[in-house]
Each structure stands twice: as structure tokens, then as C-alpha cells.
Amino acid sequence: MSDTVLAAARPVASRPSVLSRTFQAMYGRLVIIIPYLWLLVFFLVPFAIVFKISLSQTQIAMPPYAPVFSLTDGFGGLLDQLRQLSIDNYLWLTEDALYFNAYVSSVVIAAVSTVLTLLVGYPVAYGMARAPESWRPTLLMLVILPFWTSFLIRVYAWIGILKPEGLLNQFLQGIGLINEPLIILNTNAAIFIGIVYSYLPFMVLPLYSALEKMDYSLIEAAKDLGCPPISAFWKITFPLSFPGIVAGCLLVFIPAVGEFVIPDLLGGSQTLMIGKTLWNEFFANRDWPVSSAVAVILLLLLVVPIVIFQQSQARAIEQDR
Amino acid sequence: MNARWSPFNVASVTLGLAFLYLPIVILIIFSFNESRLVTVWAGFSTKWYVSLFSNRGLIDAAWVTLRVALISASIATVLGTLAAITLTRYTRFRGRVLFSGMVFAPLVMPEVITGLSLLLLFVAIGLDRGFLTVTLAHITFSMCFVAVVVQSRLLTFDRSLEEAAMDLGAPPVKTFFQVTLPVILPAIISGWMLAFTLSLDDLVIASFTSGPGATTLPMKIYSQVRLGVTPEINAACTILIAVVALGVIAASLVNKRREIQRLRDEQMAQRGA
């Protein structure tokens, strides 16, 4: 089997022109180089710049940071600039408890929301995977469709529902379940609801694809051998769906840690989440070096889950190949 | 064994879908509310749609958003498709691990980090923030989503077709356009639509990378939401939802017809054989 389309230099039936032959020879390399370069320039290099600026001093200017590493001053200038690099911004992050608390509470909120999303998503994915085959494409489409509508709109929709005089309270008071309106908006509970709601499709889809592949005759066999349904679930279904659980949880957890829109619109002013802190540091305080330092630490925090996610995706490709 | 609806499965799927759709349905209903309050029903009215169309700022923002989305989705589709081919067809080249990392990491990267890092890049290279920078930013994050969608189609693709074409003397480029492309086209189209809606929706990355004169619709909606919930925003949201829903439904109908056509062709071929 030829792995590279290009490497397979096979006899060509018609005689192509020099130009087209050169193009054919370049083809394989271009396919790799174009997206590679794009991602290097617009994905990797920006991180290097964030790191660089996180080490620079704040200045009241535009851009609001002291330049680092410009090669215009020659080698001596470069050394001079190296000496000016400082970890002041990082020290600042450790001095103010606000940042530490924001990191901790982001991770906690994201973790709790991820567990809640799993609890809501698993039965849905299970029900879909066990639905009659003719129903499945429609159900899949129905789960994906909300994902196509704007994130901002879906979060916004919850404001009207969760408000003290909102629809949920009107409903609960209408059926006489509560007398006083529940205060949900501007609390962490609203953030949990927002994250579960917005990220539910990300959880359901990998779970569904894991559960759908499962061979249900295994459950039948377990039942025939006298295994009660619940322990059949824990011994067979759950382990077999584990790759889906890992992928789904990472797809929810990682972006949720840095979430901005949900805590900003549904959480109160005292809600601490690092995405919101970074946003305020950047847009309100205009402190670019400190917001860069916040971003670097956030990235370090997420490097392990991101690598696990990337590995699991790469492994999925290898298996399917 | 045959799958059938058990009460538990019906209940969980129904509740799950109700949870997903109820907020959107409520939002749409209240865009037709007579009253300024979005939580008390006071009769049917389309006045918020009328006032929406006289809101110059919102319409300008909608045009900017649409142009950014069209351009960025198209370029992202080309780049994403190339990335998908690289991921599935080239198993050995230097920096492959780095490459797959750069394709998958943006899928989960918190938007504030992507936005901030791109902004700092644009400032560092002296590019003025505006239409161009938002477009570049959107191409970058949506191409990775396109890559994932196209890659999953390429993985299930029968490689022997490509090999047969090349054995018969078709050069790689011709093989791609005449054999591979027609098969993966539905995936490329859904990749384009995904990129288009991602760009249409994005608030955080646009807020970082956009400049004066290139305010996008989500940025506009966000600044109004911060001032309070109004039926006018509900109306704007309803139009956005309608546009996206129509697009998705149209695309799935087209896909379905192609699928039926393909099945019919296969049956014909078998009968002929």
C-alpha cells in the first residue's frame, strides 16, 4: 500500500508538460506545507508572543507593554533587552489572591459542570444508541442542530428563564411548588446550568458513537447467565463506553475552564472564573502583560488535559486507518 | 438483537431533547411579544422585527459578520481539507506530531487564549485591527473543525479506489479531483457550513481581534444584552436561528438526495452485472 500519494511515482500514460510535472512533484509537499505554515504562524507563533509579552513591563502607551526582543538594536541591544525581562507579572499573580482563587474556582466549576453534563448526557446518548436504527440519524441531527445555533443566543435565552421574575419561577409558583422566587441567576447554579446546556452535544456525540458500536449481545449473554441489569451495566456497558466518556468529558472540561460568556452573562459580579478575569484584565484594565501571564498559567493548567485529548484523537485515527 | 424503544430510553431521549430545545423555542415565542418585557406575554406582534430593520448599527454589523463568515469559511475549508488529507494520508513526515497537535488543540482551546494570542500577533506584526484580522482569526480556528469533519470521511473512504486510479496512470492531482473529491464532497460541504456558523457565532475571538469599523453581530448583540434583555434582541436571534436552521435542513436534504441517487446507481450497477 502506498502511504504517500506523491511517493508513488508511477508511469504516466500521457506525457505531461514540464510545468505540470513540477506541480505534480510539488503536490504532496504543498498539501502538507500550506496548512502547516498557516497553523505555525497563526497558532504556535502567537503563543510564543503571549509568553514573551507576559515577561515584559507594563507601559502606558500603545501597545501597552515595553518592547522585548526587537533585533533592531543589534546583539548588544538584545542582551540589554534580555536583562529587562522580568517575572514581575507572575509574581503579581501570586501576590493577589484574586488570581489564585479564580484559577481554583474555574477548575472546580468546570469539573462539577463536566460531571453534571455526563450525568445528563449519558442517558440521552444511551437512549439514542438503543433507539430503532431508522430513528438514529434523525435523533443525531436533533442533537447536533442546537450546536449550530449561536452559543451567545443559547446562553442569552437562559437569562429570561432563570431571572427571579423569569419563566421558571413563574412556572414553579404557578403550580404552587414554591412561594418565594428562587434566586438562580447570578449564582454558580446558573453557570452550571449554562455549561451543561451549551456543552451537552459535545458530551452526547462521543458517548453515542462509543455506545452505538457496542455489541448488545454481550448484555443478553450476561442476563442469560443471571447477571442483574445494573451490574451488567457497570461490568459491560460502562467500560466499553469509557473512551467516549473520556473524549466527552475533555471536550466539556477544557473549554469550560476558560469559559467567558457563560460566567459573564449568567454568573453574578462575584463569580470568579479565570476567563472573565483575563477579559477584564485586558479590556477594562488594559494590562496586556498581566493578561498574557494569566493566559500562560491557564495554558499550563490545561496542557495535560489537552495532550490527553490530542492523543485520544490521534489514536482514534490510527485505529480507523 | 433488535433495538426497540424501552420506556427508559424514550423518557431520557425526550427529556434530553426538551432540555435542548425549550429555551430556544421560548426565545423565539417571546420575539413576537407585544410587551417590552420578555417574560410576560401580552399578545402577538411583529413590531420588534420592524424596529430591528430600522436599526442601522445592527444591520451594518450583520453585513460585516456575513462577509467575514463567507470569506473565512471558504478559505478555512480549503486549508482544513488539506490538513485532513495530511493527517490521514501522510503518516511519516517530520513534525507530524506537532502538526496533529496544532490541528486538535484549537478545538478545545479556551477562546480567551486564542483571541488574546492572535491579537498580540497582529499587534506585533503591525497589522491594524479590523475586517482582515477578524477574518484571519476565524480562518485559523475554524479550519481545524473542517479538518476533523473531512478527516473522519477520509478514514472511511475506500483507498483502493485512489490506488486503482493511480495504477491506471492518473497523476495524484487528477486522482484527487476525479476520485477523492466527489466522494468526500458532502463532508467538505458540512465542514464549510460548520466553519460558516462558527464564524457567525463567535463573540470572544472577534472581540479581541476586531477593530473600529468591523463590529460583528455577536459583538453588537453582546453589548445590548449587557444593557438588558429586550424583545428586539430576541427578534435578531430568531432571524439568526432561522437562517442557520434553513441552511442545515437544506444541506441535509441535498445529502439525502445524493445518498438515494447513489443507492439507486449501485442497484442499477448490480442489476447490470
Nearest CA in chain A to B16: A124
User: Using the beta-carbon criterion (under 8 Å), do B172 and A279 form an inter-chain contact?
Assistant: no
DSSP code, position A181 = P
End-to-end CA, chain A? 12
Per-residue model confidence as pLDDT tens digits over B113-139: 999 999 999 988 888 889 999 999 999
User: Using the beta-carbon criterion (under 8 Å), do A152 and B100 form an inter-chain contact?
Assistant: no
CA distance B120 to chain A (A): 7
Whole-number Å distance between alpha carbons of B208 and B141:
14
Q: What pTM was computed for the model?
A: 0.83
The region of weakest confidence among A76-85, A138-147, B51-60 is A76-85
Nearest CA in chain A to B90: A4
pLDDT of residue A9: 43
Whole-number Å distance between alpha carbons of B164 and B142:
33
Whole-number Å distance between alpha carbons of A167 and A157:
11
Confidence of residue A20 (pLDDT cuts 50, 70, 90): low
Does residue A83 surpass a pLDDT of 70? no
Closest by CA position to A254, among listed B144, B109, B102, B103: B109
User: Using the beta-carbon criterion (under 8 Å), do B90 and A28 form an inter-chain contact?
Assistant: yes
The residues pairing with A58 across neighbouring beta strands, listed in sequence order, are A65
Helix, strand or coil, per DSSP, at residue A65: strand
Distances (CA, A) of A196 to A153, A166, A191, A205, B19: 15, 20, 8, 14, 10
pLDDT of residue A173: 84
pLDDT of residue A45: 92
How many residues appear in chain A? 321
The residues pairing with A65 across neighbouring beta strands, listed in sequence order, are A58
Q: Which tops the pLDDT comparison, A109 or B244?
A: A109
User: Using the beta-carbon criterion (under 8 Å), do A295 and B112 form an inter-chain contact?
Assistant: yes
The region of weakest confidence among A120-129, A250-259, B151-160 is B151-160
Task: Spell out the domains of chain B, with CATH numbers in brackets.
Answer: 56-272 (1.10.3720.10)
The radius of gyration of chain A's CA atoms, rounded to the nearest angstrom, is 26
CA distance A149 to chain B (A): 6
pLDDT of residue B224: 85
- A279 chain-B contacts, CB cut-off 8 A: 112, 204
Instruction: Compare CB distances from B83 to A35, A49, A130 and report the shortest one's residue.
Output: A35
CA distance B75 to chain A (A): 11
Beta-carbon pairs below 8 A across chains A and B? 297
Taking the CA atoms of A92, A96, A100 and A103 in sequence, report the sign of the dihedral they define. negative
Binned average pLDDT, 10 residues per bin, chain B of 273 residues: 72 91 88 77 83 85 92 96 89 83 88 93 89 95 92 83 84 84 88 89 92 87 82 84 81 76 78 64
Please give the share of chain A, as a percent, with pLDDT higher than 90.
Answer: 25
pLDDT of residue A320: 65
Confidence of residue A82 (pLDDT cuts 50, 70, 90): low
- A11 chain-B contacts, CB cut-off 8 A: 169
Instruction: Compare CB distances from A153 to B6, B107, B240 and report the shortest one's residue.
Output: B240
The helix (run of H) or strand (run of E) holding residue B6 is: none
Does residue A6 surpass a pLDDT of 50? no
Q: What is the ipTM of this complex?
A: 0.84
Buried b or exposed e, range B226-251, using 16+ CB within 10 angstroms: eeebbbbbbbbbbebbeebeeebeee
Per-residue model confidence as pLDDT tens digits over B193-221: 889 988 988 999 999 999 888 899 899 88
CA distance B271 to chain A (A): 26
- B244 chain-A contacts, CB cut-off 8 A: 148-150
Residue type (1 letter), A132 = P
User: Using the beta-carbon criterion (under 8 Å), do B20 and A143 form an inter-chain contact?
Assistant: yes
Please give the share of chain A, as a percent, with pLDDT higher than 70.
Answer: 83
CA distance B16 to chain A (A): 6
- B111 chain-A contacts, CB cut-off 8 A: 255, 258, 260, 275
For cell 435565552, what's the residue?
A: A157
For cell 496586556, what's the residue?
A: A288
Nearest CA in chain B to A292: B116
pLDDT of residue B131: 93
Per-residue model confidence as pLDDT tens digits over A213-227: 888 888 888 888 888
Buried b or exposed e, range B63-100, using 16+ CB within 10 angstroms: ebbbebbebbbebbbbbbbbbbbbbbbbeeeeebeebb
**Average pLDDT of the residues of chain A:** 82
Q: Which tops the pLDDT comparison, A24 or A198?
A: A198
Instruction: Compare CB distances from B110 to A8, A154, A255 and report the shortest one's residue.
Output: A255
Q: CATH topology for A88-320?
A: MetI-like fold (1.10.3720)
CA distance B23 to chain A (A): 6
Instruction: Compare CB distances from B233 to A13, A23, A156 and report the shortest one's residue.
Output: A156
Does residue A3 surpass a pLDDT of 50? no
Best of B20, B145, B189 to mutate (most A CBs within 10 Å, chain A):
B20
User: Residue B5 corresponds to which cell in the numbers above?
Assistant: 424503544
Instruction: Compare CB distances from A251 to B80, B108, B167 and report the shortest one's residue.
Output: B108
Closest by CA position to A278, among listed A264, A302, A294: A294
User: Using the beta-carbon criterion (under 8 Å), do A36 and B172 form an inter-chain contact?
Assistant: no
Per-residue model confidence as pLDDT tens digits over A284-305: 888 888 889 999 999 998 888 8
Best of B2, B8, B9, B13 to mutate (most A CBs within 10 Å, chain A):
B13
Nearest CA in chain B to A215: B1
Put simply, the chain B residues between 191 and 220 with a CB less than 8 A from any chain A CB are 193-194, 197, 200-201, 203-204, 207-208, 218
Q: With an 8 Å Cβ cutoff, is B88 touching chain A?
A: yes
pLDDT of residue A58: 64
pLDDT of residue A70: 53
Whole-number Å distance between alpha carbons of A112 and A104:
12
Closest by CA position to A86, among listed A302, A290, A291: A290
The residues pairing with B44 across neighbouring beta strands, listed in sequence order, are B33
Would you give the distance in Å from CA B210 to the centre of its chain?
20
User: Using the beta-carbon criterion (under 8 Å), do B120 and A288 form an inter-chain contact?
Assistant: yes
pLDDT of residue B119: 93
pLDDT of residue B228: 74
Q: So where are chain A's domains? A: 16-84, 88-320
